[in-house]
Every structure is written in C-alpha cells, then in structure tokens.
C-alpha cells in the first residue's frame, strides 16, 4: 500500500489520496481523529451529529454519495457563502468525486475568507498538487505549513511528499515523530516501517510491521517481503509476495513485481552456487 495523503479539514474534515487502513473503528487508533474525517468507519460517521447542513453534506460525501452531498452544500450557498467552512466542505466533496479543478476553485475562495484558517485550504491545495504529480510544489506547500501549525496532517503529508521524492531519511524523521504521537495508528506504523526498511533496518522494520493487525494486506505483505529479502531469506520472501491478491494497486503492483524479480534472481544464484558446490564435492 502506498502511503497516503490527507486533506486537512475545518473541524473534522478530510480526504485522502491513498489510504493504508480501511476504516478506523476505534478513535484511540486514529492519530488524526481531530483533523481527519477520511478514515472514519461508517459507524463513526453515523455517530457524528451536526445541525449544520454544510457539515451534513460533507458526511454524505464521505459516505460515498457525493452527488447528494454537494446538493445539500450548494443549497446553503446564500446562507454560508461568506464562511470558509462552506468552501472547504464543498472543495472536499469535489475532491472525493475526483473533480480537482472545482476542488481547487473552492479551496482558493475559502482561503480568502479567513487568514486564521488559510492553512486548511493551503494543505488541501498541496494534496491536489501532489495528486497531479507536482511533487516539488506540494512539498513546498507542506514545508511552509508545518512551520505555521501544530496540526499533524501537514506533517503527515510532508512525510509522504518526501517519500515520493526519494528523500527517505527526511520522510523517516517525520514518521518517527508521528509514530511517537500515536503508536496505535497503523498508518503511522506503516510509514515508519516502510522507511526503516528502505534505510536497511530490516529487523526493526519487521518488528514494527508485525504490530499492524491486518497482516494480509498487499502493502503490508510487500514490506514483510522486502524485509525478508533484506535479511537474505529469499524463499520466504517469495512465499510472502505470493500471498498478495490478484488485483493490486498500481504502485504496489510495480514495486512487488520489481521485488519479485530481485528475489527470483537471488534464488537462482543460490541454486547455481549449490550446484557448483555439489559438482566440486563429486570430483
């Protein structure tokens, strides 16, 4: 599973680019529970009570009904058009429906409504930039935001931006901070485990990844296989990769295919060496 990016909310609002966990049921396992709406399970979404129709519309969008959610939000235009929350919620719904152009339009308007909450819109703009592969621009946005706010979402997004640029140590440093904030959050754990593995700390990474409850997820299997490969347990690494499902996310598929090729090459090398040893022994 590729690491993911979260839209930074007003109140409890957020979206995500790519998510490791499915839906988090227990609030204690959600290190961004005050900032991110995206990883809420259906049950948690149902428990959120709000008389504000703009918030109700956003909940609908997170429940998968972006058409109805946007209709509810738009119905409040005359009442709430001067409120930054209106534009951020609408932008998040557009984001969830993959309409980045309208999402950017909404975030940009919202950013002019409140200097105090401008970081919300800027973070969300940064996520869209990253989704559009404007990684350097996104990294610049998140780097500025972590200087302005103590919220963890921009820090989380910056860790992923660093990772996408191949700046493993910088990404690892941030994931360590997030991990120490909440060791129950499996996305924090996964980010740290992946970057530790990429740094060559395979044993430490193995210990971390084992704490994630769902060991059969494709990206967790990939990190486990990567660690086994690093520890020269090639056959076990190959067996671990073979547990992955038939349908993989594109980024996981590419990484897994490359790792599989490396593992096969090592196994063939070991078999050849073994044959050579037997040949010498027989002479």
Question: Does position 156 have pLDDT exceeding 80, yes or no?
Answer: yes
What pLDDT does 110 receive? 87
User: How would residue 170 be classed by pLDDT, with cut points 50, 70 and 90?
Assistant: very high
Question: Does position 10 have pLDDT exceeding 80, yes or no?
Answer: no
Lowest mean pLDDT among 24-38, 50-64, 183-197, 221-235: 24-38
Lowest mean pLDDT among 105-114, 197-206, 243-252: 243-252
Question: Does position 270 have pLDDT exceeding 80, yes or no?
Answer: no
What pLDDT does 251 receive? 66
Highest mean pLDDT range out of 20-24, 37-41, 165-169? 165-169
What pLDDT does 14 receive? 34
Highest mean pLDDT range out of 13-17, 61-65, 139-143? 139-143
Q: What is the DSSP string of the chain?
A: -----BPPPSTT---BSS-SSS-B--GGG-TTTTT--TTB-HHHHHH---S-HHHHHHHHHHTT-HHHHHHHHHTTHHHHTTSHHHHHHHHHHHHHTT-HHHHHHHHHHHHTT-STTHHHHHHHHHHHHHHTT-HHHHHHHHHHHHHH---SHHHHHHHHHHHHTT-HHHHHHHHHHHHHH-TT-HHHHHHHHHHHHHTT-HHHHHHHHTTSS-TTSHHHHHHHHHHHHHTT-HHHHHHHHTTS-SS--HHHHHHHHHHHHHHHHHHHHHHHHHHHHHHHHH-
What pLDDT does 2 receive? 45
Question: Does position 18 have pLDDT exceeding 50, yes or no?
Answer: no
- Please indicate whether residue 9 or residue 128 has the higher confidence score (pLDDT): 128
Question: Does position 272 have pLDDT exceeding 90, yes or no?
Answer: no
Percentage of the residues of the chain whose pLDDT score is greater than 90: 47
Q: What is the overall mean pLDDT for the chain?
A: 83
What pLDDT does 166 receive? 87
Question: Does position 239 have pLDDT exceeding 60, yes or no?
Answer: yes
Question: Does position 37 have pLDDT exceeding 80, yes or no?
Answer: no
What pLDDT does 154 receive? 92
Average pLDDT over residues 106-116: 84
- Please indicate whether residue 19 or residue 233 has the higher confidence score (pLDDT): 233
């Amino acid at each position: 599973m590729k690491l993911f990016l979260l839209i930074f909310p007003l109140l409890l609002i957020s979206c995500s680019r790519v998510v490791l966990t499915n839906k988090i049921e227990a609030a204690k396992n959600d290190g961004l529970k005050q900032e991110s709406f995206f990883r809420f399970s259906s049950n948690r979404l149902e428990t959120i009570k709000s008389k504000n129709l703009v918030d109700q519309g956003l909940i609908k969008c997170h429940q998968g009904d972006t058409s109805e959610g946007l209709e509810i939000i738009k119905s409040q235009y005359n009442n709430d058009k001067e409120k930054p929350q209106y534009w951020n919620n609408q932008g998040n719904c557009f984001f969830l429906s993959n309409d980045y152009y309208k999402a950017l339009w909404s975030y940009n308007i919202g950013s002019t409504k409140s200097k105090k909450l401008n970081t919300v819109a800027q973070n969300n703009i940064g996520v869209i930039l990253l989704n559009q592969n404007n990684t350097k621009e996104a990294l610049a946005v998140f780097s500025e935001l972590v200087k302005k706010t103590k919220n963890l979402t921009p820090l989380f997004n910056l860790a992923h931006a660093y990772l996408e640029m191949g700046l493993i140590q910088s990404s690892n440093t941030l994931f360590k901070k997030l991990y120490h904030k909440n060791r129950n959050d499996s996305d924090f754990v996964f980010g740290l485990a992946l970057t530790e593995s990429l740094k060559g700390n395979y044993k430490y990474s193995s210990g971390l990844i084992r704490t994630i409850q769902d060991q059969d997820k494709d990206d967790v299997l990939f990190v486990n296989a990567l660690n086994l490969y690093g520890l020269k347990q090639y056959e076990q690494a190959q067996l671990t990769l073979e547990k992955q499902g038939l349908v993989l996310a594109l980024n996981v598929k590419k990484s897994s295919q490359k790792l599989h090729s490396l593992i096969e090459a090592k196994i063939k090398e070991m078999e050849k060496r073994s044959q050579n040893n037997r040949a010498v022994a027989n002479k």
